[in-house]
């Protein structure tokens, strides 16, 4: 690893951003919660995909830590198995989609060929993978399959992801353009 300081900064940024999205989601969309951990709009899903796209493995590590903390101390404080599985899925699903995009979409580290259509496809695939993996976990833990939760997880993760990604795009557009010091105009 070339720069441990940068890696740690990306992990910490991911943790802070994810927890901030959990708090913001609770404030804005808390009334849209179906059951604990299942929301019709879930902004942290967007934070997950954004952080793995920006920070790759460091984003995945940050998501694992932050998700475990949120699951264990907030969503499922009395259920270590569910908190652990939820945190693993929360890190694996977006990182898996990042790896998929790198391999099948030819996504470079600079994200320069991540078009709007590719980002939409990636968002849908991520929401599908995340919802399915969470339901598989519930089934493996003997809690049964819940098609209604699967649908709500899918919709909530997709909407949350699109809100966060387009929100990030808007913020970037509002920032002043950086000038090129080598531009001789």
Q: What is the pLDDT of residues 125-177, one digit of tens each?
A: 999 998 988 888 878 877 777 788 889 999 999 999 999 998 888 887 787 87
What is the pTM assigned to this prediction?
0.85
- Other C-beta atoms closer than 10 Å to the C-beta of 120 total 14
51 neighbors 94 (Cβ within 8 angstroms): yes
In angstroms, the CA 8 to CA 178 distance is 26
Q: What is the pLDDT of residues 94-129, one digit of tens each?
A: 998 888 888 888 877 767 777 888 889 989 999 999
Name which of 157, 152, 121 is nearest 47 in CA terms: 157
Band of residue 180 on the pLDDT scale cut at 50, 70, 90: low
Q: How far apart are the first and last CA of the chain?
A: 40
DSSP code per residue over 107-128: --TT-TT--HHHHHHHHHHHHH
In angstroms, the CA 174 to CA 169 distance is 9
Return the pLDDT at 127: 93
What contacts 32, CB < 8 A, 6 or more positions away? 39, 40, 41, 156
């Amino acid at each position: 690893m070339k720069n441990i300081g940068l890696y740690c900064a990306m992990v910490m940024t991911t943790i802070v951003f994810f927890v901030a999205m959990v708090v913001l989601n609770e404030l804005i969309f808390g009334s849209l919660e179906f059951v604990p951990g299942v929301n019709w709009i879930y902004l942290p899903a967007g934070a997950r995909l954004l952080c793995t796209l920006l920070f790759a493995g460091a984003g995945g590590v940050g998501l694992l830590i932050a998700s475990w903390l949120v699951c264990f101390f907030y969503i499922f404080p009395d259920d270590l198995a569910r908190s652990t599985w939820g945190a693993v899925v929360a890190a694996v699903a977006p990182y898996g989609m990042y790896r998929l995009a790198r391999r099948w979409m030819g996504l470079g580290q600079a994200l320069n060929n991540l078009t709007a259509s590719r980002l939409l496809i990636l968002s849908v695939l991520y929401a599908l993978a995340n919802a399915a993996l969470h339901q598989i976990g519930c089934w493996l833990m003997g809690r049964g399959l819940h098609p209604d939760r699967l649908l709500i997880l899918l919709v909530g993760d997709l909407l949350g992801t699109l809100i966060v990604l387009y929100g990030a795009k808007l913020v970037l557009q509002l920032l002043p353009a950086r000038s090129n010091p080598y531009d001789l105009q």
